[in-house]
């Protein structure tokens, strides 16, 4: 990972110099994205280290969401870069500049190799971490951006079509924005303490209500602690005459929720039928 960061930083400077010398906006666009790759890797590694800290007095849920925050930072950076590239590309359409095609092709080819190697290094970890996945998407988008820059340089060399350069820049920007938009929603959902996208709260509550002795479940809060862990807090009403079995019923409810929904972090407040909350809400309090 350290090598990947170092190579990406060096490549960024090479691309910026190459872009200025050749006059290629697409290459400078690719350089900016490459720099964001290096930054995203640093942020991702730092967040992964922080996320492993155990819970303490300051963070009683632990530090797992450090990775989610890092993913939000990386994805927001992608959006800012994408919008900036759109702005620059539109300006270049109205004020075209000459582009040295061969230099663009050579430097973009080197960049493509570096991007593919970096993406390969992060691919395995990206499977189970939204944080590393955001860094991986940076590198994947940059690799495809390098392909587009090579294509632009080739067309400029063969046909002198300088307008291809800002057009390719728009394509790179559009792809960057699409990648960021496809991931940022789930990250924001976790930070907003939303329910897991594939877990219906009503199904969870009905599973609990299926236990003998439970008449109702209300005041439920179901949210994601981080990408892998989901928590539930709820009030469970015990039917008349079954209060002596309240502890056993609670254990049964937790077992069912663990088995059927994968819920491990479950906090239940038990209520007897004679002292139910006044006008309880099904979801929330």
Per residue in 43-97, pLDDT (tens digit) is: 777 887 888 888 888 888 888 888 888 888 888 888 888 888 788 788 777 776 6
pLDDT at 50: 87
For residue range 242-259, list pLDDT tens digits in order.
Answer: 999 999 999 999 999 999
* pLDDT value at residue 124: 66
The pLDDT, as a whole number, for residue 64 is: 82
pLDDT score for 165: 76
Q: Which residues of the chain have pLDDT under 70?
A: 1-4, 26, 30, 33, 37, 96-101, 104, 122, 124-132, 134-135, 138, 141
CA atoms within 13 Å, Cβ hemisphere of 208 = 28
pLDDT number for residue 266: 94
Residue that is written with structure tokens 């929330």 in the block: 284
Classify residue 32 as exposed, middle or buried by CB count within 10 Å of its CB (0-12, 13-18, 19+): buried
Q: Does domain 2-191 have CATH number 1.20.1510.10?
A: yes
CB atoms within 10 A of CB 123: 14
Instruction: Find where tokens 């039917």 sit.
Output: 239
What's the number of CA atoms in the CB half-sphere (13 Å) around residue 174? 9
- Are 253 and 211 in contact, with CB atoms under 8 Å apart? yes
pLDDT at 138: 66
- The answer to whether the CB of 220 falls within 8 A of the CB of 232 is yes
Domain boundaries, the chain: 2-191, 201-275
Check if the beta carbon of residue 160 is closer than 8 Å to that of residue 99: no
Residue with tokens 């910026």: 16
pLDDT of residue 267: 94
1: Cα separation from own chain's centroid: 19
What is the pLDDT, as a whole number, of residue 179?
Answer: 78
CA 47 from chain center: how many Å? 13
Q: What local confidence, expressed as pLDDT, does residue 22 receive?
A: 72
CATH class, range 201-275: alpha beta
Predicted confidence at residue 275, as pLDDT, reads: 85
Q: The pTM is what?
A: 0.72
């Amino acid at each position: 990972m350290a090598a990947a960061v170092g190579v990406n930083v060096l490549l960024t400077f090479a691309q910026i110099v190459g872009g200025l010398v050749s006059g290629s906006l697409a290459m400078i666009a690719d350089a900016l994205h490459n720099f964001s790759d290096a930054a995203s890797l640093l942020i991702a590694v730092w967040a992964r280290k922080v996320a492993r800290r155990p819970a303490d007095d300051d963070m009683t849920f632990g530090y797992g969401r450090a990775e989610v925050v890092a993913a939000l930072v990386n994805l927001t950076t992608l959006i800012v870069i994408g919008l900036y590239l759109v702005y620059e590309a539109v300006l270049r359409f109205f004020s075209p500049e000459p582009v040295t095609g061969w230099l663009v092709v050579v430097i973009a080819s080197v960049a493509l190799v570096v991007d593919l190697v970096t993406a390969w290094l992060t691919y395995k970890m990206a499977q189970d971490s939204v944080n590393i996945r955001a860094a991986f998407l940076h590198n994947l988008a940059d690799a495809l951006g390098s392909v587009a820059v090579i294509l632009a340089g080739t067309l400029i060399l063969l046909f002198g079509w300088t307008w291809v350069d800002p057009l390719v820049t728009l394509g790179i920007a559009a792809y960057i924005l699409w990648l960021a938009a496809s991931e940022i929603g789930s990250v924001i959902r976790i930070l907003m303490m939303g329910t897991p996208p594939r877990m219906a709260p009503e199904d969870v509550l009905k599973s609990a209500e299926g236990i003998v002795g439970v008449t109702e479940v209300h005041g439920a809060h179901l949210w994601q602690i981080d990408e892998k862990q989901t928590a539930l807090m709820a009030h469970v009403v015990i039917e008349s005459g079954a209060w002596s079995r309240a502890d056993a019923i609670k254990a049964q409810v937790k077992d069912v929720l663990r088995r059927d929904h994968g819920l491990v972090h479950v906090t239940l407040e038990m209520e007897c039928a004679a002292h139910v909350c006044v006008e309880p809400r099904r979801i929330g309090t």
